[in-house]
Structure 1
Amino acid sequence: MDGPDQESSSMQRLWLEMKKKNVKPSIVTYDTLVGGYCRMRRVERAIELVDEMKREGIRSNAIVYNPIIDALAEAGRFKEVLEMMEHFFLCETGPSISTYNSYEPVYQDD
C-alpha cells in the first residue's frame, strides 16, 4: 500500500500510540495532523481533530483552521467554509490574512 492511504494509516497509528502512552498532544501535534489530513482530502477527520482539541482545552488558531478552510473551499463546500469561519471567529486568536484569502472564493461570481 502506497500513497495517501498509507500516510493516513501511519498517522492514525502514531496518534493511537501517543494516546496509549498518555502523551498529551500539543497544538503543534494537532496542527501537523490537521494539515496532513487536509492534504489527503480527509477534511472530516481534520474537523474531528479540531473538535477533540477543543474538548481537551487546547485553543486553536489560524494555523489549525486554515488548512481546513482551504480544503473545504477547494472542494467547493462553501457553506461549510462559512460555518467554519463562524466557529473560527469565536476563537481567541481569530482568522489571519491567509484565512481571508481562502474565504475569498465564497464570494466570487461564477
Structure 2
Amino acid sequence: MIKALCKARRATKAESLFNEMVSKGLKPSVATYNSMVDGWCKEGEIELAMSCMARMYEDEKDPDVVTYTSLIHGLCASGRPGEAISRWNEMKGRGCCPNVITFMALCGLSSEALVYFREMEEKEMEPDSGVYVSLVSSFLLSGNISAGFGIFREMVCKGRFPVLVDRNCMLAIDAADKFAEDYRTSCYITCLIKDGEKLVAESFEIQYTSPGMHTGISQLDKAVKATQIHRLTHHKTYFDSKKIYAAFFFLIYAALHLVDTRIDLIVDT
C-alpha cells in the first residue's frame, strides 16, 4: 500500500500509514523505506527524503543502491548537483555498486557524468543506449556540441544505438539534427550517413524512388510506414546487428532531412 501511494505521488498519506505501522510495533523493511524516499523525491520534498534516510540509520537499516538512486535523482532534479555528487561518493564509499539508473540521474551534470561514464567502462559496466543518449543530451544542453558528438559517434561505433521502437531513438534524431546544423559537426554527420548507406547496402537491397518523403522529426512515424521500414524492424537479421540499427538510422535521417527522395527497402533474399 505504501509503495502504491508513493508511486501515485501521495507521500503524505503513505507516511501516515508508515507511522501507523511503526506505532504498532512493526519494523519497516529497506524496501519500505526506499518507497518513502522515492515518494518524497518525486514530489520534490528532498529534505523529507533525507530525513527518511536518516530514520533508516536510526532503525539500523542500511540504505542500498535503490535508496541512493532515488535521492541522487531527486537532488539533480532539484538543482542541487553538488549534493548529488556527494551522495554518489558516499554511496561508493559504503560499498554500494552504482547501477545504470544511478548514473543516468547524474547525466544532467555533463562533465561529472563523463567522469563516471568512463568509470563505468573501467569496471566493465556496459553503458546501454539510454546512458549514451542521456550523456549526449547533457552535453547539448550545456552547449558542448563537440563533446556531445564524440559520445554520439562512440555510441554508433560500439553498436549501442537505440532501436527504432525505442523512445531514445527520437532523442537521438534530435541530437543528430543539432549536429547537422552546427558547422563543427555537420560534415561528420554526412560521413556517418555515407557509412550507414554502405553498411545497409551490404545487408539489404535498396531501391530509390521519388518524390514524397515526409520531412521533419514529427513525421518520422509516417515516413517509416510510407517506406516499408517497419517491415525490417521485425526481421531477424536486422535485430542481430546493433550496427545495422545505427546505419539504418542514418539512412532514415538522410531521407528525412537531407534528401528529397523516398526510400523503399526490401530484405535481400
TM-score normalised over the length of structure 2: 0.37
Residues 41 and 71, structure 1, Cα contact 8 Å, conserved in 2: yes
User: What does 1:19-38 align with in structure 2 at a 5 Å threshold?
Assistant: 19-38=22-41
2:90 paired with 1:91: no
| Greater share of residues in strand | 2
- 1:93 and 1:70 map into 2 onto residues whose CA distance is 16
Residues 60 and 91, structure 1, Cα contact 8 Å, conserved in 2: no
Partner of 1:12: 15
Equivalent residues, number: 106
SS at 1:93 equivalent: coil
SS at 2:10 equivalent: helix
Matching residue's letter, 1:63: V
Residues 69 and 99, structure 1, Cα contact 8 Å, conserved in 2: yes
- 2:52 and 2:12 map into 1 onto residues whose CA distance is 15
SS at 1:102 equivalent: helix
Residues 61 and 95, structure 1, Cα contact 8 Å, conserved in 2: no
- 2:97 and 2:53 map into 1 onto residues whose CA distance is 15
Partner of 1:65: 68
Ranges in structure 1 where 5+ consecutive residues have no aligned partner: none
Runs of 4+ in 1 over 4 A off after TM superposition: none
Deviation at 1:9, TM superposition (A): 2.7
- Report which structure shows greater RCO (CA 8 Å, sep ≥6): 1
Partner of 1:78: 81
Ranges in structure 2 where 5+ consecutive residues have no aligned partner: 1-5, 112-137, 143-269
Matching residue's letter, 1:30: Y
Matching residue's letter, 2:47: E
TM-score normalised over the length of structure 1: 0.83
SS at 1:64 equivalent: helix
- 2:103 and 2:10 map into 1 onto residues whose CA distance is 29
